[in-house]
Every structure is written in structure tokens, then in C-alpha cells.
Structure 1
Amino acid sequence: MNFKEIKELIEILDQSSLTEINIEDKGNVVNLKKEKETEIITPQINQQPMQQVATQQGVASAPVGTQEPDNTQKSSAADDSQTINAPMVGTFYKSPSPEESAYVQVGDSVTNESTVCILEAMKLFNEIQAEVTGEITEILVEDGQMVEYGQPLFKVK
């Protein structure tokens, strides 16, 4: 087979639904395979609707769902404790390994940089900092429990 004939076979393969051509001619073997086409999927970016937010000075508008959540929140107006919330979905672990003691327990004092737990997400272990200063008053989840994004993990006073 010459180059022109091979080129014609390539064009035939390309235009057909065949995925492979094997030809043996005068002791020469030609194997042509069509690679599967890779479909490229591009994410669609949707514009978020504007939500009206009332303020004391007037009315301001902000995109819905575009603000970073505060990982610490006040529990209630009457209670001056705050919560440390999960910054991601994952599995909650109170200690670095089953043999070691918990990062924090009820009654422990924490600072902004204190590690309070680990959240495992996709086989990555992420140390979670308190981001508040105070005393742990309650642990709201169990060791090994799945937690949702924004779910309260600890109460801090």
C-alpha cells in the first residue's frame, strides 16, 4: 500500500461509524483505530437573582448565595455563646487518630488559631480552627459523624 491509499483509508474511517480497520496486503499490515472523542463539558455560570436586603440606612441589594458564610455565629440573643460551624461537608473527627486524645473537650479554652477537630473530605484531612476565643461549652456532633456545610460543631462561650 502506498501513502495515498493509507490516507484514503484514514478519511473513510474518519467519516464512517467504524472504530477500527485492519488490512493485510502483500505482506504489509495496516491497523487503523479511531480514538474515542472526548466530550468537553464546560460549566454554565448562572447569574444569581438579586435579593433585596433591608438595612437601617435604606435598602441594599446583594446577590443571593455569594457571601462567604461566617463559621461562627451567635446562638441566640439571650445566650452569649457562639458556635463553630463546619466550613465544608465531611466526616467529623475529634482527634488526629483513634489512639490520641481529642483536640478539645467541654471546658477547654480555645483561641482563634486553636485546632478543634478534623473534617475528612475526599480522603483529605482538614484541621479546623476555632476562629473564636472562649471556652467550649458543648460538642454538638459525634466522632465519625457526617456533617453538612455550615452545621454547628461546637458551642463556645
Structure 2
Amino acid sequence: MKVQEIREIIKLVDQSNISEFSFEQEGSKIKLKKTEVGTVVYPTAAPEVKAVEAPKAAPAPAAAPVEAPKAAPAPAAAPVAAVAQDTEGLHKITSPMVGTFYQSPSPDADPYVKAGDKVTGDSIVCIVEAMKLFNEIEAEVNGEIVEVLVKDGELVEYGQALFLVKPE
């Protein structure tokens, strides 16, 4: 079974109302489970504890900490907006599964791609290892790699952006 076929199955299950899916073909077996979002229960005692602790600590250093956070968010918001504007029109190559990201086929080999490289739809851009299976990830689009968003050996999540590509 090809990675592209697995991606399609994942997308279909994600968009459907089913919570669990199993598939077996020629010795290959896939089992997908969705978890419900929004079922996290927070204890009600935690906010009360914070409310009690805040007045004790607030009287003496209230002026200094309040000024520092006000200054910090403004610069942080500007780069986020700049990054959002920079990514408009760019294609994101995302991880089709949870696993470990590898830029090259072996530790001593050159990376598959780096920023500035041209790719075609079937170009292999990286490997995502999941459960001792090394899955080659294809670019899916013709264009130029603008940025590699993940470091070699880093854990990645399903749907996490790995590369930004400027489509041709």
C-alpha cells in the first residue's frame, strides 16, 4: 500500500463520522481511531486556588510584572503576522502520520531537499519513520522549497507542516 493511499484513507476517516476504522489487504493492516475533541475536564478547584494566590503575590510587585508582559506581546504579535503574510500562496507539505522526521535516507547522506531546491510532485522530500517503517514523503506539487520547518530527528504530528513550497 502506498503512502498516498494511506493519506486518502486518513482524510476520509477524518472527514467522516466514524470513530474507528480497520483495513487489511495482502498482509498489510491499518487501524485508525479518532479521539473526541473537547472532552477534557478541568478541575474547578484550580481557578479558586489561583484567585486566592494572586492577591497575596500582587500587592508588592504588581507594577513591574504588569509592564513587562504589556511590552512583550506587541513585538511577538508582529512576527506572527509577518509569518502569516509570508506563507500566503505557499503550499505546505504536511506529515501524513505521527513519527520521526528525517531529512536524508541515512545519517551520513545529504538531505533530500533544502531551501532553494526545485521539486516535482513525485520528488521525495523526507522520510517519516513510524513503528520502524520508513515512509518516503513526496512533494505533491511542482515548485521551490522555501523553508524546512522541522529539524532532523524531530518528532512530528499528523498534519504538521514540514516544508513550505512556492508552487510553479
Question: TM-score, normalized by length of structure 1?
Answer: 0.52
User: Distance between the aligned counterparts of 1:78 and 1:123, measured in 2?
Assistant: 33
User: Distance between the aligned counterparts of 2:85 and 2:98, measured in 1?
Assistant: 24
* Alignment partner, residue 67 of structure 2: none
- For 1:130-153, what per-residue CA distance to the aligned partner results, in whole angstroms no more than 9, with x for missing partners? 001100000000000000000000
Q: Which runs of 5+ in 2 are unaligned?
A: 1-12, 18-83
Query: How far did 1:115 drift?
Result: 0.1
User: Distance between the aligned counterparts of 2:99 and 2:139, measured in 1?
Assistant: 17
* Alignment partner, residue 65 of structure 1: 15
1:39-118 aligned at under 5 Å gives the runs: 65-66=15-16, 79-118=88-127
* Alignment partner, residue 151 of structure 1: 160
Q: Which runs of 5+ in 1 are unaligned?
A: 1-62, 68-74
Quick one: percent identity of the two aligned structures?
58
Query: How far did 1:80 drift?
Result: 1.3
Query: Which secondary structure does the structure 1 equivalent of 2:109 belong to?
Result: coil
Count of residue correspondences? 88
| Higher relative strand content | 1
User: Distance between the aligned counterparts of 1:95 and 1:143, measured in 2?
Assistant: 8
User: Distance between the aligned counterparts of 2:126 and 2:89, measured in 1?
Assistant: 23
AA at the equivalent of 1:66 = S
Cα RMSD of the aligned pairs, angstroms, is: 2.3
Query: How far did 1:78 drift?
Result: 7.6
AA at the equivalent of 1:89 = V
| Higher relative helix content | 2
- Deviating beyond 3 angstroms after TM superposition, the runs of 4 or more aligned structure 1 residues are 75-78
1:130-141 aligned at under 5 Å gives the runs: 130-141=139-150
- For 1:44-83, what per-residue CA distance to the aligned partner results, in whole angstroms no more than 9, with x for missing partners? xxxxxxxxxxxxxxxxxxx97329xxxxxxx769821111
